[in-house]
Amino acid sequence: MITHESRDPSALHTPVLLERCLELLAPAASRDGAVVVDATLGMGGHSEALLEAHPGLTLIGLDRDTEALGLAGERLKRFGDRAIRVHAVYDEIAEAIAGAGFPGVDGVLFDLGVSSLQLDDADRGFAYAKDAPLDMRMDQTRGETAADVIAAAPEGRLRAIFERYGEEPLAGRYARAIIAARNVEPILRSGQLVDVLQQATPAAVRDQRHPAKRVFQALRIEVNGELTVLERAIPAALDSLNVGGRAVIMSYQSLEDRAIKRELTKRSRSTTPPGLPVELPEHSPEFKLLTRGAELAGEEESARNPRAIPVRLRAAERLRASR
């Protein structure tokens, strides 16, 4: 396991779209007494840059991964009490803000998905290219593992997980293959699961894509409740913003991006009843969008940092308090 005593977090992770995130958050983060929440602290790359750029900023960093919190703590130690770390899932953002003693915040940043730390540590079981125990928990202190799901879920549930969270067209075929294999011996390691999926995949499909990619994504989302958590977290984060506050949200797969787009679009529309000649203040848009659709990483960054290739960034600014 990677430990913060032995590894430099800046060498383990390159923050995605760092300059764009700083640009979008700058008007809010530069306010007097500004507070920004990094809801997915990870190894602290975005947080470090924000604290360096804004000497008056207080940053609250949330992460469910205790190992990441340790590494980020080393990275942010020089900022003293300007950097507040909280062991929490990002749908607990309101509680974290209140616990730190603030009624609201000026910025919120989300960098969703699995982190470099989790992918690169083979023992975590996130990467299908590395044989490891089938864990996949972002918080290794609680919850069921991917091996637990594989061992206990009936065929219908497995199929539903692969269809919903992996958008896997062979979901039924893979679910049946897993049931058959686990009846012979427990599937406890990622290498075992990859072998089962490989054998269940038609040759023509194997030539097009790795059979495990979507299944591993689906299991990770299921184990960590990622979409359920996200659907609670985005409204809570937007509600926490002061007027003029900004939210910047980066996602890496279409299911996350759809949920984010849906919430931001809803909040940025007028609810004035049709036919009225004027906009009613209480029905005016609560937010304005700061990006046209989802922004992508440029070619240079994608070449330098392949993990930026699938990123989708959306941002919004709070226009008025909710009523």
d(CA 244, CA 192): 51
Q: Binding residue per annotation — 45?
A: yes
Which of the 8 DSSP states describes residue 133?
B
Q: Binding residue per annotation — 33?
A: no
The token duo for 90 is 């990002």
Q: Binding residue per annotation — 63?
A: yes
Interhelix angle 226-240/213-224, nearest 10 degrees: 60
Q: Binding residue per annotation — 87?
A: no
* Cβ(243)–Cβ(320) below 8 Å: yes
- Quick one: which H or E segment has residue 17? none
d(CA 118, CA 138): 8
Q: Binding residue per annotation — 46?
A: yes
First to last CA, the chain: 48
Q: Binding residue per annotation — 44?
A: yes
* Furthest C-alpha separation in the chain: 70
Q: Binding residue per annotation — 90?
A: yes
Beta-bridged to residue 250, according to DSSP, are: 111, 313
- Quick one: which H or E segment has residue 125? none
Binding residues: 44-46, 63, 90, 111, 118
Binding residues for S-adenosyl-L-methionine: 44-46, 63, 90, 111, 118
